[in-house]
Protein backbone atom coordinates (compact mmCIF):
# COMPACT_ATOMS: atom_id res chain seq x y z
CA UNK A 1 0.00 0.00 0.00
CA UNK A 2 1.19 3.52 -0.77
CA UNK A 3 0.56 6.54 1.39
CA UNK A 4 0.64 10.21 0.42
CA UNK A 5 0.86 12.81 3.15
CA UNK A 6 -0.42 16.40 2.97
CA UNK A 7 2.38 18.97 2.98
CA UNK A 8 2.37 22.77 2.83
CA UNK A 9 4.62 24.24 0.13
CA UNK A 10 7.11 26.73 1.58
CA UNK A 11 9.25 27.56 -1.45
CA UNK A 12 9.33 26.77 -5.14
CA UNK A 13 12.51 26.90 -7.22
CA UNK A 14 11.71 25.64 -10.69
CA UNK A 15 10.37 22.10 -10.36
CA UNK A 16 11.66 21.62 -6.82
CA UNK A 17 11.24 23.32 -3.51
CA UNK A 18 10.66 22.91 0.19
CA UNK A 19 7.58 21.58 1.93
CA UNK A 20 6.61 21.34 5.60
CA UNK A 21 5.28 18.09 7.03
CA UNK A 22 4.19 18.41 10.66
CA UNK A 23 7.06 20.75 11.49
CA UNK A 24 9.67 18.98 9.35
CA UNK A 25 11.01 20.79 6.29
CA UNK A 26 12.22 18.73 3.34
CA UNK A 27 12.90 19.02 -0.37
CA UNK A 28 10.22 17.92 -2.81
CA UNK A 29 9.81 17.57 -6.54
CA UNK A 30 6.99 19.38 -8.31
CA UNK A 31 7.60 17.70 -11.68
CA UNK A 32 4.10 16.21 -11.65
CA UNK A 33 2.53 19.53 -10.56
CA UNK A 34 4.54 22.27 -12.30
CA UNK A 35 1.89 24.90 -11.43
CA UNK A 36 2.64 24.54 -7.68
CA UNK A 37 3.19 27.80 -5.78
CA UNK A 38 4.36 28.65 -2.26
CA UNK A 39 1.44 28.40 0.15
CA UNK A 40 -0.25 25.55 -1.75
CA UNK A 41 -1.02 22.21 -0.13
CA UNK A 42 0.01 19.02 -1.93
CA UNK A 43 -0.06 15.30 -1.33
CA UNK A 44 3.54 14.12 -1.06
CA UNK A 45 4.61 10.57 -1.90
CA UNK A 46 8.26 9.47 -2.01
CA UNK A 47 9.39 13.08 -2.31
CA UNK A 48 7.05 13.91 -5.19
CA UNK A 49 4.00 16.18 -5.04
CA UNK A 50 1.40 13.99 -6.74
CA UNK A 51 -1.81 15.99 -6.25
CA UNK A 52 -2.97 19.40 -5.09
CA UNK A 53 -5.40 19.54 -2.16
CA UNK A 54 -7.17 22.41 -0.43
CA UNK A 55 -6.11 23.44 3.06
CA UNK A 56 -9.24 22.08 4.75
CA UNK A 57 -8.79 18.62 3.24
CA UNK A 58 -5.09 18.65 4.17
CA UNK A 59 -5.78 19.61 7.79
CA UNK A 60 -8.60 17.05 8.09
CA UNK A 61 -6.30 14.31 6.77
CA UNK A 62 -3.49 15.30 9.15
CA UNK A 63 -5.96 15.26 12.07
CA UNK A 64 -7.05 11.76 11.04
CA UNK A 65 -3.42 10.59 10.99
CA UNK A 66 -2.89 12.04 14.48
CA UNK A 67 -5.99 10.30 15.83
CA UNK A 68 -4.90 6.99 14.30
CA UNK A 69 -1.45 7.39 15.80
CA UNK A 70 -2.89 8.22 19.22
CA UNK A 71 -5.08 5.12 19.15
CA UNK A 72 -2.43 2.72 17.87
CA UNK A 73 -1.03 -0.04 20.04
CA UNK A 74 2.72 0.52 20.22
CA UNK A 75 3.29 -2.24 22.78
CA UNK A 76 4.55 -4.70 20.15
CA UNK A 77 3.75 -8.41 19.75
Beta strand extents in the chain (DSSP E only)? 5-13, 16-21, 24-29, 41-45, 48-53
What tens digit of pLDDT does each residue of 2-50 get? 789 999 999 999 999 999 998 999 999 999 999 999 999 999 999 999 9
Confidence of residue 51 (pLDDT cuts 50, 70, 90): very high
**pLDDT value of residue 1:** 67
pTM score, whole prediction: 0.82
* pLDDT reading at 74 higher than 60: no
- Please give the domain boundaries of the chain with CATH numbers for all domains: 5-70 (2.30.30.140)
**pLDDT value of residue 73:** 57
Average pLDDT on 41-60 reads 95
Amino acid sequence: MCLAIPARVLTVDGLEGEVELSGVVRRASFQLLPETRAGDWVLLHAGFAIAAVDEEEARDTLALFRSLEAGSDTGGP
